[in-house]
Structure 1
Amino acid sequence: MSRRGTIAGGVAGLVLLLAAGAAWWTQQTPEGRPPLGGAVASFVLADRTEPAPEITFSDAAGNTLRLADFKGKVVLVNLWATWCAPCVKEMPALDRLQAKLGGPDFAVLALSIDREGLAKVQPFFAQNKIAALAAYLDPAGRSPALFGARGLPTTLLIGRDGTVIGRQEGSAAWDEEAAIRLMRYYLDLGKAKSA
């Protein structure tokens, strides 16, 4: 091999090494771009920062809640219904995500738009062994229009400050490592900003 070929091969190897390092750095630090791939490859980041719409809904006890009640947490808002086949398919993954990450810093807010409200959602949760998710209800079905949802399921990630980070149209495997890495990215980002 000529000296030119050796140098070109060395440069190509260095470029690959730097690219791999950049990809690792991006996925590991809040300063980099959020990790989008695998289960969340079709997650679309918001073009600009804007506050989430002010929606109201109820919990299983009939209490009226607002999205603002979750401020300070990273919230994954999932708009769904029991009659929506892709919604039904992804609900166990959302339940596992809530079981894994749910707490004072993170919540999955699975917001049902079933007109029958709790009478429809509660048996669905029992039948499908959904145990970690709380039942949140919007039987009037106002939230999809307020969020600009074009169909169900639509899932929006809301930052601790109440702004929309991005959205996923259609179902996703929310309990897979790629999705968990995306949630942790924004959980860590919030901690870094408050420190």
Structure 2
Amino acid sequence: MKLKIVAAAAVLALVLALAGAFLFAQRTAAPDVAFTTLGGQTFRTADLRGQVVLVNFWATSCSSCIKEMPALRRMQQTFQARGYQTVAVAMEYDPPARVAALMVRGDLPFTFVLDHNGHIARSFGDVRLTPTSFLLNRRGEIVHKIVGQPDFDKLHALIDELLTEPT
């Protein structure tokens, strides 16, 4: 009987260790890339640490991307004061003038960057489909990847949870 209890405890410990390793593996560091804004300023992924960040890959030719912009704007306005930021990465084939026009026309209050040579998209796992978003925690780890339009209620809950986590 004692042997069965010891064996069961060992199996349980192994399962918990594997589950912990799986959960830890889900949070990988975001790639270290340089972003260049429409205004020409540059910053790196490491500069975003301390904030919860949604890195959103999009294109002006993507109707789903354009459709989700008002919801992204509301999300930015809702969480910005608590340390949240949206970084909208225009795909390399997007003309900068079209990106700028959309940003102004849509009154979009987040950071727009241009992926001039596709390096940012490749660094985030060779993003080709838009919209694709990556949610980063305050430590700069990717905690969630979204291909297509997000379920904004679930995304809001996750952002709220990440913003309340200790740093």
1:117 Cα offset (Å): 4.8
| 8 Å CA contact 1:118, 1:135 repeated in 2 | no
Distance between the aligned counterparts of 1:118 and 1:102, measured in 2? 25
Residue 104 of structure 2 corresponds to: 126
Distance between the aligned counterparts of 2:80 and 2:95, measured in 1? 23
1:160 Cα offset (Å): 0.7
Residue 87 of structure 1 corresponds to: 65
- Residue identity matched to 1:181: A
Residue 8 of structure 2 corresponds to: none
- Residue identity matched to 2:160: R
Distance between the aligned counterparts of 1:115 and 1:46, measured in 2? 35
For the aligned residue pairs, the C-alpha RMSD in angstroms reads 2.1
Q: Is 1:181 paired with 2:157?
A: yes
Distance between the aligned counterparts of 1:143 and 1:180, measured in 2? 25
- Tell me the SS of whatever aligns to 2:28: coil
| 8 Å CA contact 1:74, 1:105 repeated in 2 | yes
Q: Percent identity?
A: 31
Distance between the aligned counterparts of 2:128 and 2:92, measured in 1? 17
Residue 112 of structure 1 corresponds to: 90
Aligned CA distance change for structure 1 residues 117 and 104 (closer, same or farther; 3 Å):
farther
1:66 Cα offset (Å): 1.1
- Residue identity matched to 1:100: T
1:47 Cα offset (Å): 4.5
Residue 12 of structure 2 corresponds to: none
Distance between the aligned counterparts of 1:130 and 1:164, measured in 2? 27
Q: Is 1:50 paired with 2:33?
A: no
Q: Rg bigger for which structure?
A: 1
Distance between the aligned counterparts of 1:97 and 1:156, measured in 2? 15
1:87 Cα offset (Å): 1.1
1:159 Cα offset (Å): 1.0
Aligned CA distance change for structure 1 residues 124 and 108 (closer, same or farther; 3 Å):
same
1:130 Cα offset (Å): 2.9
Structure 2: runs of 5 or more not aligned: 1-22
Distance between the aligned counterparts of 2:150 and 2:82, measured in 1? 24
Residue 13 of structure 1 corresponds to: none
1:173 Cα offset (Å): 5.0
Q: Tell me the number of residue pairs that the alignment of Structure 1 and Structure 2 aligns.
A: 144
- Give the alignment's TM-score, normalised by structure 2: 0.76
After TM superposition, the runs of 4+ consecutive aligned structure 1 residues lying more than 2 A away are 45-49, 114-118
| 8 Å CA contact 2:82, 2:163 repeated in 1 | no
Q: Is 1:160 paired with 2:145?
A: no
- Tell me the SS of whatever aligns to 2:32: coil
Distance between the aligned counterparts of 1:123 and 1:138, measured in 2? 17
Q: Is 1:141 paired with 2:110?
A: no
Aligned CA distance change for structure 1 residues 173 and 132 (closer, same or farther; 3 Å):
farther
- Tell me the SS of whatever aligns to 2:140: coil
Aligned CA distance change for structure 1 residues 94 and 60 (closer, same or farther; 3 Å):
same
Cα deviations by residue, 1:132-153 (Å, 9 ceiling, x for unpaired)? 2232221222222211135111
